[in-house]
Structure 1
Amino acid sequence: MPAGDTPDGPVTVQWREDLIRALADFRGRLTPDAPLGARTWFRVGGAAELLVQPADARDLALALRHIPLEVPVRVLGACSNTIIRDGGIDGVVIRLGRGFAEIAHDGNGLIAGAACLDMTVAEHAATCGLAGMEFLAGIPGALGGAVSMNAGAYGSDISTILDWVEIITRDGEALRLPGGALKFSYRHALVPQGAVVVRTRLCGQPSNTLAIRERIAQIRAAREAAQPVRARTGGSTFRNPAPDISDRKAWELIDAAGCRGLTLGGAQVSEKHCNFLLNTGNATAAELEELGEMVRLRVREHTGVTLEWEIRRIGRPLGRAAATPLCKETTA
């Protein structure tokens, strides 16, 4: 049952109705009880209590200023590394679209919006003869999410190329921060609490366009050969352990624990790359998450290593009551 509904019909959520009225000048889209599953790479999950799709940065700032501080706010990008639980997401979900997808050549770098797909950024850099961003061709998703989690692949990550980032804070203020202010670590960036990444400047090095394109083609071919890129999946499920914990990668630990091909309902551990979970066609978010926990348990029992989730699991399970606005959503 979608968030906000009962067997007798829709329920009025007062904060939501008040917010929609307050955003009379909003130029984007406001959608109550918006289904989210089809927007994710896994194709699972419930609805957003209110989906906010701003037209541009000014629109986003307007919305953030008016959203009550006690209402949870969640930003979704391309949803490539996300499981949205079957009960949906309480509060506001922000989705950045076309107004945040511009890319411009800027000397030895690119200025790119948070909604730009990582692959598009890599290809644009090649067109401009800028090397150093090829690794983005191997990362599914959008640039805002890549910055927020310091995404990386094929020997590089966002921290190596980020010059500055523009954000809009929870109170609607626009700020530009140098890359170093995010204090990057492995798959982590210190983006201010509640802030939304809207634009970045990425640095490159002038190089031969054909050589850059060849490197992108190699990355795409390697990814195609090793990963189930045409399946309903969410990218790497678990982070690789730190070297002082294990010298084996996550997939090696999963394989050693006998989890390759393991299934639960419509969810499956990929046969091709066992650090990927798959929706084989009719999986629920609960099945995907439970299967992931089964893998973690088996790996811990077999190797003594506790794998940490890389995929975000957000929202609430089906059947669990919606949180009150005073209860901040917790995430794993």
Structure 2
Amino acid sequence: MDSLSYTPRGVLTPQRSLADLTWLRVGGPADWFFQPADEDDLAAFLKALPADVAVFPMGVGSNLIVRDGGIRAVVIRLGRGFNGIEVDGETVTAGAAALDAHVARKAAQAGRDLTFLRTIPGSIGGAVKMNAGCYGSYVADHLISVRIVTRAGEVQTLPAEALNLAYRSSQLPEGAVIVSATFRAAEGEPGALEARMVDQIAKRDASQPTKERSAGSTFRNPSGASSTGRADDTHELKAWAVIDKAGMRGATLGGAQMSEKHSNFLINAGGASAHDLEQLGEEVRKKVLQTQGISLEWEIMRIGEY
């Protein structure tokens, strides 16, 4: 990126290491790292950015492996100007940088039920992109619309249907950055909603390595999925079960390990490189395919160069 016709009001940093921004604490640098001041700043920046420069929107790095060679792109990370949460009747509008857990709690305080978001790591932008869900509810069940800034710097509002939300996936315009999302939330009694979330947290902590450096579920459940994305909650076949059957619970490679507590969680047990983590994941996929004829698909996003 030799020149830029726009001087951003936000922070533009060259060769910014991303390791400290991912939950797994691995990865090389981004060619450029941009933290826009607000939506107008983001739109003007993208409009001025040369068309041949790739863009990668990054949330809080909760579902991400950045490879050791880094990313040949401008990584865009939204901050405080994009984390507002507003409740208006049955609708909840949240900035893309708002944490899922914060949205669930603020909605509950207002008597609105988005409790399924409480235990999902990450921010709203990533939750929409991945059609995140648990306990039988998904983003697709609640999403009304998203506000985006396109790669060309245009601000658009897209109805949920335009995203073609499916199991752990969505279809967004290439290079688009989600800036906010609006959800429909059923009414609920605040105390009961809070109690439900407390129970969800307890169940999660009992079954998942929440104190370890992980990126959540490593692989998608191999059951396929309906357009609503619910198949993983109803099908008997689970990723952790086929990993166990392959004998890969607790498997290690360098500083990487498949968790003993939950075998579908890949963890940085200490000093792991991105290569260690990804290669261990590939070893798991290979073993599951050899032993059961099942090809696991990554749920963790892996980006950048080796």
Deviation at 1:242, TM superposition (A): 2.2
Alignment of 1:205-244 (within 5 A): 205-242=186-223
Distance in structure 2 (CA, Å) of the matches to 1:152 and 1:206: 19
Residue in structure 2 matched with residue 311 of structure 1 by the alignment: 300
Out of 151, 159, 167, the position equivalent to 1:186 is: 167
Aligned AA for 1:277?
L
- Partners of 1:71 and 1:272 lie apart in 2 by 42
**1:310 Cα deviation from its structure 2 partner:** 0.3
The answer to whether the aligner puts 1:73 opposite 2:64 as a matched pair is no
Q: Does the Cα contact within 8 Å between 1:164 and 1:202 map onto a contact in 2?
A: yes
Q: Find 2:285's aligned residue among 296, 302, 322.
A: 296
Q: Structure 1, unaligned stretches of length 5 or more?
A: 1-14, 318-332
Residue 243 (structure 1) shift: 5.1
CA distance in 1, matches of 2:292, 2:74: 40
Cα deviation, residue 87, structure 1: 0.6
Aligned counterpart, 2:115: 134
Cα distance in 2 between the residues matched to 1:294 and 1:259? 9
Tell me the amino acid that sits aligned with residue 18 of structure 1. Answer: S
Aligned residue in 2 for 1:164: 145
Return the letter of the residue paired with 2:101.
M
| Structure 1: distance between partners of 2:131 and 2:289 | 26
- Residue matched to 1:91: 73
1:254–1:88 distance in 2 versus 1, CA, 3 Å: same
Query: Who is 1:275 aligned against?
Result: 264
Q: Which amino acid aligns with 1:308?
A: E
| Alignment partner, residue 109 of structure 1 | 91
Give the alignment's TM-score, normalised by structure 2. Answer: 0.95
- Bigger Rg, structure 1 or 2: 1
CA RMSD of aligned residues (A): 1.3
Query: Quick one: percent identity of the two aligned structures?
Result: 50
In the other structure, the counterpart of 1:323 is: none
Query: What does the per-residue CA deviation read over 1:230-269, in whole Å, with 9 as the maximum and x for residues that have no partner?
Result: 1110000000012599841000000000000000000000
Matched to 1:100, the amino acid is: F
Q: State the partner residue of 2:251.
A: 262
* Deviation digits for residues 290-323 of structure 1 (CA, Å, limit 9, x no counterpart): 0000000000011100000000000001xxxxxx
Write out aligned runs for 1:5-24 (5 A): 15=1, 17-19=2-4, 22-24=5-7
Unaligned runs of 5+ in 2: 226-230
> What whole-Å deviation, never above 9, does each CA across 1:37-89 have from its counterpart, x for those lacking one?
00000000001100011011111101111111111111100110000000111
Question: Aligned partners of 1:69 and 1:243: how far apart in 2?
Answer: 36
**Whole-Å separation in 1 of the counterparts to 2:195 and 2:134:** 17
Query: Structure 1, residues 169-207: CA drift from partner, whole Å, max 9, x if none?
Result: 110111111111111111111112211110111111111
